């Protein structure tokens, strides 16, 4: 099943609950604009390389479109289209005044120098500057991009349209960014993990956690949960998994990764296992925080965790989702669980528009308030309708976007 087909499946489950007409479903699912551009760039060795970039702008019924920009060799239009749609429902679930968008460039950033990465970024902005902006579409970091890339985007866009830092979020603090943005997605995952654990009758100190992925999201989620007295028994990155029955020293693991080019390769504070084995550990909480599609029909029967919190985008395939639901596994869906990043991006955009900065404490307080409110609404709707948390989250998002669309008038 392709990425957008999976999103469409989840959408239709929620739309059935809302009794949406076929015409309304088509209207809400169809992207407003899909842009594909050619990026011709000279590499450091003098060779000309031609890359393909995408920006899908899905919906703006509730405000400017918002979504990350990823640089990855597997990026294609179907993936970007599905992620843009998810952003529409994600921003609506946490009730911030945005629509959804997503972008990407099909390139392997591991093979690029910093100068090549900058040239590709600026060329991409050259092709897109007329269709992005603080009132239309606001990019943000994603896989393969970071705060520095966002600073290049702002700088290049300013050359065409004048100074306006709100064109992009996730920028360095020195370039009108916001403190707490880097930790926001992982911290949001941690906040909602604790709330879900509590609803299921567990206490943090009796909760064993396995986290697949120890990048930005996974490491910050691990830090938050470790501080809350959860026992993080397994972590992983591309080098493999690392398991310790009585709990991994997370601050030590983060120090090691920072000292070894953000890699856990050679980490001696835990036993080496495979990434696949990590998913099947006997734990109370499993957090897939790496790539999508890691839990499938083939391995779903081996998943032992009673709670899965989707820190990555679409880590559980639809067929596996059904199998796990039949077994009573609780899944906190990605459009709610990992919405902390876009929430703090909204705070950054607001400050950029007001030219006024918040402190880290206020950012964290507001993040917890927004995420908690969205969680409570989703949990109550799931309980009232006897449906999954995923369907409940989609229902909230779809109903808000649908109502905004109708109230504005469809002409």
Task: Write out the catalytic residue numbers.
Answer: 102
DSSP-assigned beta bridge partners for residue 287: 211
Q: Could you give the C-alpha distances from 357 to 33, 183, 188, in angstroms and in order?
A: 33, 17, 21
| Other beta carbons within 10 Å of 289 | 28
**C-alpha span between 231 and 237 (Å, rounded):** 18
**C-alpha span between 114 and 166 (Å, rounded):** 24
C-alpha angle 235/296/182, rounded to 5°?
A: 40
Classify residue 295 by its DSSP letter. B
Helices (H), 200-316: 216-227, 250-259, 275-279
- Contacts of 163-166 with C-beta under 8 Å, sequence gap 24+, read 164/133, 164/134, 164/352, 165/352, 166/134, 166/138, 166/349, 166/352, 166/353
Answer yes or no: are the C-beta atoms of 188 and 198 closer than 8 Å.
no
Crossing angle (nearest 10°) for helices 77-93 and 389-408: 90
Return the H-helix or E-strand segment holding 377: helix 360-385
Answer yes or no: are the C-beta atoms of 197 and 273 closer than 8 Å.
no
Q: Which residues contact 73 (CB under 8 A, 6 or more apart)?
A: 106, 107, 108
Return the H-helix or E-strand segment holding 293: none
């Amino acid at each position: 099943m392709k990425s957008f087909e999976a999103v469409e499946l989840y959408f239709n489950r929620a739309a059935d609950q809302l009794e949406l007409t076929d015409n309304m479903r088509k209207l809400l699912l169809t992207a407003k604009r899909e842009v594909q551009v050619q990026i011709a760039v000279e590499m450091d060795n003098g060779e000309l390389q031609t890359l393909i970039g995408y920006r899908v702008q899905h919906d703006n019924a509730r405000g400017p479109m918002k979504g990350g920009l990823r640089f990855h060799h597997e990026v294609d239009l179907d993936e970007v289209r599905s992620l843009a749609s998810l952003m529409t429902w994600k921003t609506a679930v946490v009730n911030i005044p945005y629509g959804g968008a997503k972008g990407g460039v099909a390139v392997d950033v591991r093979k690029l120098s910093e100068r090549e990465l900058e040239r590709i970024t600026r060329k991409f902005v050259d092709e897109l500057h007329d269709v992005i902006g603080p009132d239309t579409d606001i990019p943000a970091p994603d896989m393969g991009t970071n705060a520095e890339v966002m600073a290049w985007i702002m700088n290049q866009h300013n050359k065409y349209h004048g100074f306006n830092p709100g064109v992009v979020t996730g920028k360095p603090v020195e370039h009108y960014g916001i403190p707490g943005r880097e930790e926001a997605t992982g911290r949001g995952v941690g906040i909602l993990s604790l709330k879900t654990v509590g609803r299921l009758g567990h206490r943090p100190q009796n909760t064993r956690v396995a986290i697949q992925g120890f990048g930005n999201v996974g490491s910050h989620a691990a830090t938050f949960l470790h501080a809350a007295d959860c026992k993080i028994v397994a972590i992983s990155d591309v080098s493999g998994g690392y398991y310790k029955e009585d709990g991994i020293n997370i601050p030590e693991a983060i120090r090691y990764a920072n000292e070894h080019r953000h890699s856990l390769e050679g980490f001696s504070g835990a036993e080496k296992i495979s990434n696949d084995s990590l998913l099947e550990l006997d734990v109370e909480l499993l957090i897939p925080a790496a790539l999508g599609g890691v839990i499938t029909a083939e391995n779903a029967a081996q998943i032992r965790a009673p709670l899965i919190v989707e820190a990555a985008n679409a880590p559980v395939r639809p067929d596996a989702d059904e199998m796990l639901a039949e077994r009573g596994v609780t899944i906190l869906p990605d459009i709610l669980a990992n919405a902390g990043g876009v929430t703090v991006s909204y705070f950054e955009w607001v400050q950029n528009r007001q030219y006024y900065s918040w402190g880290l404490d206020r950012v964290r307080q507001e993040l917890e308030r927004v995420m908690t409110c969205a969680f409570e609404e989703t949990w109550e709707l799931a309980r009232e309708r006897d449906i999954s948390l995923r369907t409940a989250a989609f229902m909230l998002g779809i109903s808000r976007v649908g109502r905004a669309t109708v109230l504005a008038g469809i002409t």
